[in-house]
Structure 1
Amino acid sequence: MHELYHRYARRVSTTIIILLFGIGLWQLAAAGWIQGKSIIAQQLLNSSWNKTLSEKSSPDHGSTAHRPWPWADTWPVARLIMPQQQIEQIILAGDSGSSLAFGPGLSLAGAMPNTPGLTLISGHRDTHFEFLKDIQINDLLYLETAEKIERYQVYHLQVVDSKSYKLQSSIDEQTLVLATCYPFDAVTPGGTLRYLVFANIHPANGLKHRAQTRVVDITGRLKDT
């Protein structure tokens, strides 16, 4: 009886070890798949962006959206560059969840990149926009479109409640806002706080073709990032 008990206990222990080993392998494989998918996606996004840049001198430039893969519902519209932090990120059209899974997204309710008005770009706090927590006042960043590269300077950092806060901008100014969820180390996602980085066009760039001044409500609610 004693021998049977030990034999049963060994079988149970062996089964548990095999199960744990299998679960560990599955988790490693899943992590590898996610990382591999992310790398491939970035390569495809870079390829799409390079196609956009290569067509910037064509007469009908701007009419073609180069989708990174056939079923994609988004495409590259700009590239964000921050030399101090060695950041280069492709900006995607739209800020839906499917877009933000692959990179920062441009709000289509605001101004297009590098044009007068307020350009709003959102990203996830634990992936693409994690670096926002290290940005300081007066930091420089660059926004590249097919037409040009503009230099911006950070002038304000703010935490807001997305339920009540509304972004407003005068359309004769050229402002860039980067937004992500806050706090950065939150355990539970889905909160209403947002961390905003405000940057204006650098004075050295100048701003031609100013539009008539009026205040516009860009969006009543910042996306869940």
Structure 2
Amino acid sequence: MTGAARGIGLGIAQRLAEEGCRVILWDVDFSQFDRRKAGFEPVLTQVVDVSDRLAVEKAFSEAVEAAGSIEILVNNAGINGPVVAAWEYPPDAWDRVIAINLNGVFHCCRAAVPHMRQRGYGRIVNVASMAGKDGVQYISAYSAAKGGVIAFTKSLAKELAADGVLANCIAPAMAETDLLREMTPEHIAASKAKIPMGRFLQIPEIAAMVAWIAGPECSFTTGFVFDLSGGRATY
């Protein structure tokens, strides 16, 4: 579970632990992670920058050694980046958003897939976004990265379809997380206005969806985008 120290990642990890999973947490900062409040004991907590391929490969090897095997990979780590017009977007910020939100998914899948294929079983859940479907103004890097996650997931799923390894992704609308701190009030209001239910997505709702996708009952769906949009999605 990447990006798992807080927010959506922690919420998903808690739900998977409740379902009986032994969970390994990856994040770049565990300073806000409280084991007592989390309600479960992770197998490992590993400080990993998913944009660093070598760091991912090393951490995955350590995870396999500690757990024995890895059946589920949830790629959640991500940043929003600045809220600014595309022609004013700082190139270094663009590179960082793509590196974490898209390249990070690739690095983690590249590390995990051979292990899963060898075992003949695996569930990969990539956290994309409605922004990856719609393209949202003033967050072009985030939209581009999440659109890339969707396309990558579809490609990967087809490649793995006969191997017992399923790859799907979720496309949440805006949720109430710490990422809101990176956004302007105008951007938050505009995003909420797009949701027909008139409210933001809640973390337990995301966790419930991921728990099913990552479980054995999801057995004939791969390469799919599960929307969590409150009615916003049109395709």
Tell me which of the two structures has the higher relative contact order, counting C-alpha pairs closer than 8 angstroms and 6 or more residues apart: 2
The interval holding the TM-score normalised by the smaller chain is under 0.3
The structure with the larger Rg is 1
Higher strand share: 1
Give the structure-1-normalised TM-score. 0.26
Give the structure-2-normalised TM-score. 0.25
